[in-house]
Amino acid sequence: MNWDIFKIILPTTLSFVIGIFITPIVNHFLYKYKCWKKTHGKVDMEGNETPIFNQLNISKEIGTPRMGGIVIWLSILITVGFFWVFHSILPLDIFNKLNFISRSQTWIPLASLFLGALVGMVDDILEIKGTKDKKNVTGGLSFKKRLLVAGMLVYS
């Protein structure tokens, strides 16, 4: 049997289904703890305010939860963990082929995903808490800091 297409379709589908099931739980948590920006406002790449965007989206930014990326990385983590556990418990050929942790090609994309997710989560937490930096109206990480981390990911 040709496992190549199966190795792509099954984990992707499983991760999608897990994401669908954990979304209401994460959404409930985000609304319960009011994980959204407390003040509205965006800035462009040079640090200037965007008055038209800010005026049009004044009510949409406040009350819209941040940290929705948790659904993505958590569903991937559960999927990878699922195949790793089943490979350890049942050493069948199918679980051997689907065990992503055993392949060295998987570590760099997984590390990049989780480092990017960490930067996104820090940015969202700073947006939720707010900062006292007058240059950074949005409250999250500045564009330069996010670009620096993205550049480090690309060149690693």
- DSSP letter, residue 38: S
Q: What would the pLDDT profile of 99-110 be if each residue is shown by its tens digit?
A: 777 677 778 888
Q: Residue for token digits 């937490």?
A: 125
Domain span at residue 75 reads 4-155
A 10 A CB-CB count for 91 gives 10
Q: What would the pLDDT profile of 112-146 be if each residue is shown by its tens digit?
A: 888 888 888 888 888 888 765 555 555 677 777 77
Q: Residue for token digits 């496992």?
A: 3
- The reported pLDDT for the residue numbered 27 is 93
- The reported pLDDT for the residue numbered 144 is 77
Domain count, the chain: 1
Question: How far out from the chain centre does Cα 30 lie?
Answer: 14
- The reported pLDDT for the residue numbered 131 is 62
- The reported pLDDT for the residue numbered 43 is 66
The tokens of 24 are what?
């209401």
- List residues bridging with 49 in a β-sheet: 43
The tokens of 38 are what?
């407390």
Of 19-28, 79-88, 101-110, where does mean pLDDT reach its minimum?
A: 101-110
E strands, the chain, in order:
none
Q: Is residue 139 classed as helix, strand or coil in its secondary structure? A: coil
pLDDT over 90 percentage in the chain: 19
- More confidently predicted of 112 and 21: 21
pLDDT-derived band at 73, boundaries 50, 70, 90: very high
Query: Measured at the alpha carbon of residue 121, what is the angle toward residues 153 and 44, in degrees to the nearest 5?
Result: 75
Instruction: State how far the Cα of 37 lies from the Cα of 4, in Å rounded to an integer.
Output: 44
pLDDT-derived band at 40, boundaries 50, 70, 90: low
Of the chain, the end-to-end C-alpha distance in Å amounts to: 36
